[in-house]
Structure 1
Amino acid sequence: MKKLHLYIITNLAIISGCDKFLDIKPKDKFIPVTVSDYENMLNSGTMVNYGDYFEDLLSDDVYLPEGDPGNLFTKQQLPGRRIYTFNPNVNDQGTPQPMWSESYKRIFYCNTIINNIMNATEGTAENKRSVRAEALLGRAMEHLALVNMYAQHYDAATAATQLGVPIALVADINAKFKRNTVKEVYDQIISDANEAIPDLPVKHKLTKFRACKAGGYALLSRVYLFMGDYDNAKKNADLALTLQSELANMNKYNVTVPGPFPNIPGTPLGWTDIPDGQYNTETIVARHFLRPFGLGMDVCASPELTALFSSDDKRWALFYADGWPPAPPYNYMNRFHVRLFLRGDYYSNYLNVPELYLNRAECNARSNNLAAALDDINKLRVNRIDPSTYQTFTPADFNNDAEKVLRFVLEERRRELAFTNMRVIDLKRLNKEPRFQKTITHTAEGKDYQLLPGSNNYVRQLWPDATIFNPDWPLNP
């Protein structure tokens, strides 16, 4: 078996610049030729997934109650238990690491398009540029996810020397790669997004699994927020919201019991009638976790996260339940005073409108534009809180204190983005500020585990199956 430098497995034959190679169509391999071939790569099942739902197990949003029945710690697979107890060595050699392998597989799909589509047959030049732009955005998103899992958080003072992840820009699974610095990875992400935006469609005609111009700006807003560049984060949030800004009123949604597939054994109860991510008005560009429900039905909201929700918050009613099923025989609220995370819909965990309002609100709060910050939070909350108890907030409600407003904005961010793979990154970036530093404690099998601010245990170790073929790659501390 041929050894691959990034150790990804794909059934795609990557096109090279060798004419002789192009003259041969290997048996059981697919070589894209037409624009439609390349578009079908973007439409593939591989490309509609994103992220690693396990990562939220590292955060302060998660609680795994123990004791039978209902033991959620032992229910986790071994990698999940290791993450929950802050062990960065998540995978042993020979065991899958979907975040690494699937992300780089998607990057290689994107690179095949980026490197070759302009020479494809059929299709207009405009069409080719548009498809290529979607691939650039996809490559940027994957590199962003990888660098935030396998490296310390971006810090302008150290990013140029801090090791990140390999940047893959060529459609060659046998190429030799190095670990690039965090700065190099972020620079590439920004470059890809900026190159993509002019050619992205304002609205994709096919599906929200395909990219659009607002998605490019949304990505840049996220990247700049992570970098602490709040001016550019706000600027790009503004640009994205100019193109897409509609929020869905969650007061019109309900929990459906027994769910949409009552006659199929083993399917979850407590599903909502919230539209699938690709049909949701709030979705800019849609993706799902590899397992569509993420951590749904597998974790409880931590006592701290539980305390942030009020009973009139529709997110609390729609995405969390007292027990599983959402009725007797087992009730986590009665026993542990927490709720089970029960988000059963195929929600989008990629680029969405609510995040943009939250990004802009944080940027405004940090620049002391308190009224503007709260305007965006109010826009979000009026679509989340029961109308009979909804309150419009003004700076006066926080004694015109910028610190109080900022903390309220960050609390709203935590409520809205819980279990979408954003909390760990937020913890890492906020730990750069002494006022927001916190120590996280998880308890499992009678032992307390602590995650300190800035700890190396925030950083997942590189996948052993990749490093064994790249012994020159320095490992994370």
Structure 2
Amino acid sequence: MKKLHLYIIFIIALSGCDKFLDIKPKDKFIPITVTDFENMLNSGTMVNFGDQYWDLMSDDAFLPEGQPGNLYTKQQPYGRLIYTFNTSPYDQGGNDFLWSEGYKRIFYCNTIINNIMEATEGTDANRRSVRAEAYLGRAMEHLQLVNVYAHHYDEATAATAPGIPIALIADINAKFVRNSVKEVYEQILSDAHAAVADLPVKNKLTKFRASKAGGYALLARTYLFMGDYVNARKNADLALSLQGELKDMNTYNVIIPGPFPNIPGAPLGWTNIPDAQLNPETIVARHFLRPFGLGMDVCASPELTALFTNDDKRWTLYFADGWPPAPPFNYMSRYGVKIFLRGDYYSNYLNVPEMYLVRAECLAREGKAADALADINKLRLNRITPAAYKAFTLADFGNNNENVLRFVLEERRRELVFTGMRVIDLKRLNKEARFRKTIKHTAEGVDYELLPGSDKYLRQLWPNATVFNPDWPLNP
């Protein structure tokens, strides 16, 4: 029987991760020096993160049907299943990249964490710094995975709710159990705090390498997901104290004819917004596994469309009425929506705007609406055209704190659209009666519904992993 208990496509020779097997295979490189371990952090595997297809189940996504301009049948089969709230989009033998690539990166991190302090060359401080980056990476992956394959964190049930396997050793032959949601979050917090202690103040070489602000940003995100708004705000404060620069999006433009003018079907109207590693708002950079994310593959839903105005640069730079080949099909004319074109979206990992939004939400929940609006106004100053920009006051919301909180959440939705955050937000907000909502999608003449708190929010564990772990409890 195969012993790949997590069933990870983990090519040891790729980054030289055989040391944990206590075997030195012929012609395979084994990391020995600090530089060797740092090169693992610089590898192509480690610069990716997330699953762009997950967003297809959110209320932000709309897949038009009919020709021309069909985006539903354009999707891979698993994309169509996710859009229609099918909990098992990957059959036996199909690759669930979020699981396989996520655990692959965890095993890279484990190889570093388990071995770096014995590395030759370098200083002890350098070894600890590299280990801290691996702690951060491991925490981020576990946080993503537990939010896809398990119910959202709830203090009352987290200790008994099935989460995901926690992997802390670099041994693909080890036996793993499905830990509880509480255990997973405890491990995430432990890793994140360990990372903060030794992360450098500045990114090394590139923003694909982590900084101390990244450690605080991860803690802020984690505590927000847990509903611990005091600690979420505290860590957002710390992250912004180290990196709080926002970039005025009015300085960016649509590029015509786009970056690939000679490729049929290439997007028309891409922008000169810098990618992840070059964007000044990035704290720690990653790319989607597929370079363009959902660019050219999804439209904003009518509901999401209604949240934007043409004075919002996020709308005019990231979305377009139509899409080539010429003449472009006009989604706005037919459906009253725009197609998402922006690929390589910079904020699908850790970034400055998210920290302002985390802090603003926490402040609004604490009854400090004026302070929350100050953060939102600062963000919008860098997103809205100067002629249309307005600094909001409490009076604009009837001096009602609830109205301010709802506006903060709307701003979060606008800013983080198609970055993998919306489904998590739906899951956590469904814990509050005032924010519960039913998501509806239609495909091939059939209406599908995703109810608040539904088990349909949980992706089934990857069959390729569970077949070798029959003792793992499956999702409903």
TM (normalized to structure 2)?
0.97
Write the deviation string for residues 62-88 of structure 1: whole angstroms up to 9, x where unpaired. Answer: 001111111111011100000100000
3-state DSSP of counterpart to 1:406: helix
Equivalent residue, structure 1, for 2:437:
438
Equivalent residue, structure 1, for 2:9:
9
Equivalent residue, structure 1, for 2:44:
45
Distance 1:345 1:89 in 2: 27
Equivalent residue, structure 1, for 2:245:
246
Equivalent residue, structure 1, for 2:103:
104
3-state DSSP of counterpart to 2:38: helix
Aligned-partner residue type, residue 461 of structure 2: L
Structure 1 unaligned residues grouped into runs of 5+: none
Write the deviation string for residues 214-266 of structure 1: whole angstroms up to 9, x where unpaired. Answer: 00000000000000000000000000000000001000101101122323455
Aligned-partner residue type, residue 236 of structure 2: A
Equivalent residue, structure 2, for 1:204:
203
Higher mean C-alpha displacement, 1-10 vs 445-454 = 1-10
**Contact persistence 2:216–2:239 (CA under 8 A):** yes
Counterpart mapping for 1:268-287 below 5 A: 268-287=267-286
| Pair 1:384 & 2:394 matched | no
**1:475/1:458 CA distance change after superposition, 3 Å:** same
Distance 1:192 1:15 in 2: 23
Aligned length in residues = 473
Write the deviation string for residues 303-344 of structure 1: whole angstroms up to 9, x where unpaired. Answer: 000000011000000000001129733100000000001113
Higher mean C-alpha displacement, 319-328 vs 206-215 = 319-328
| Pair 1:304 & 2:296 matched | no
3-state DSSP of counterpart to 1:441: strand
Deviation >2 Å, runs of 4+: 13-18, 27-30, 260-269, 325-329, 344-348
Equivalent residue, structure 2, for 1:169:
168
Distance 2:110 2:20 in 1: 13
**1:17/1:4 CA distance change after superposition, 3 Å:** closer
Distance 1:28 1:471 in 2: 36
Distance 1:47 1:260 in 2: 25
Distance 1:323 1:311 in 2: 15
Higher mean C-alpha displacement, 338-347 vs 50-59 = 338-347
**Contact persistence 2:19–2:30 (CA under 8 A):** no
Equivalent residue, structure 2, for 1:141:
140
Distance 2:451 2:293 in 1: 26
Distance 2:410 2:20 in 1: 51
Equivalent residue, structure 1, for 2:461:
462
Write the deviation string for residues 255-299 of structure 1: whole angstroms up to 9, x where unpaired. Answer: 101122323455433210001110000000000100111111001
Equivalent residue, structure 1, for 2:320:
321
Aligned-partner residue type, residue 387 of structure 2: S
**1:111/1:17 CA distance change after superposition, 3 Å:** closer
**Contact persistence 1:16–1:172 (CA under 8 A):** no
Distance 2:57 2:27 in 1: 41
Equivalent residue, structure 2, for 1:125:
124
Equivalent residue, structure 2, for 1:398:
397
**Contact persistence 2:265–2:325 (CA under 8 A):** no
Aligned-partner residue type, residue 138 of structure 1: G
Write the deviation string for residues 398-425 of structure 1: whole angstroms up to 9, x where unpaired. Answer: 1110110000000000000000000000
Distance 1:17 1:275 in 2: 38
Write the deviation string for residues 189-221 of structure 1: whole angstroms up to 9, x where unpaired. Answer: 000010111210100230000000000000000
Distance 1:205 1:31 in 2: 23
Equivalent residue, structure 2, for 1:367:
366
**Contact persistence 1:214–1:241 (CA under 8 A):** yes
Distance 1:172 1:63 in 2: 41
Structure 2 unaligned residues grouped into runs of 5+: none
Distance 1:470 1:9 in 2: 16
Write the deviation string for residues 430-462 of structure 1: whole angstroms up to 9, x where unpaired. Answer: 000000000010000001000000000000000
Equivalent residue, structure 1, for 2:216:
217
Write the deviation string for residues 42-75 of structure 1: whole angstroms up to 9, x where unpaired. Answer: 0000000000000000100000111111111101
Aligned-partner residue type, residue 331 of structure 1: N
Task: Give the alignment's Cα RMSD to 1 decimal.
Answer: 1.3
CA-CA distance at 1:117 after TM superposition: 0.5
**1:302/1:14 CA distance change after superposition, 3 Å:** same
CA-CA distance at 1:7 after TM superposition: 0.4
Equivalent residue, structure 2, for 1:82:
81
Write the deviation string for residues 107-153 of structure 1: whole angstroms up to 9, x where unpaired. Answer: 00000000000001111111000000000000000000000000000
Q: Give the % identical residues.
A: 75
Distance 1:245 1:30 in 2: 40
**1:161/1:364 CA distance change after superposition, 3 Å:** same
Aligned-partner residue type, residue 32 of structure 2: V
3-state DSSP of counterpart to 2:283: strand
Aligned-partner residue type, residue 243 of structure 2: Q
**Contact persistence 2:287–2:344 (CA under 8 A):** no
**1:150/1:245 CA distance change after superposition, 3 Å:** same
Equivalent residue, structure 1, for 2:236:
237
**Contact persistence 1:278–1:348 (CA under 8 A):** no
Distance 1:326 1:396 in 2: 48
Equivalent residue, structure 1, for 2:474:
475
**Contact persistence 2:302–2:337 (CA under 8 A):** yes
Distance 2:112 2:70 in 1: 46
**1:4/1:416 CA distance change after superposition, 3 Å:** same
Distance 2:41 2:265 in 1: 31
Distance 1:190 1:311 in 2: 40
Equivalent residue, structure 2, for 1:36:
35
Aligned-partner residue type, residue 3 of structure 1: K
Equivalent residue, structure 1, for 2:55:
56
**Contact persistence 1:52–1:290 (CA under 8 A):** yes
**1:178/1:306 CA distance change after superposition, 3 Å:** same
Write the deviation string for residues 151-208 of structure 1: whole angstroms up to 9, x where unpaired. Answer: 0000000000000000000011110000000000000000001011121010023000
Aligned-partner residue type, residue 279 of structure 1: L
Distance 1:38 1:14 in 2: 10
Distance 2:267 2:390 in 1: 34
Aligned-partner residue type, residue 284 of structure 2: V
Equivalent residue, structure 1, for 2:329:
330
Aligned-partner residue type, residue 257 of structure 1: I
Distance 2:413 2:304 in 1: 8
3-state DSSP of counterpart to 1:284: strand
3-state DSSP of counterpart to 1:372: helix
**Contact persistence 1:395–1:401 (CA under 8 A):** yes
**Contact persistence 1:275–1:345 (CA under 8 A):** no
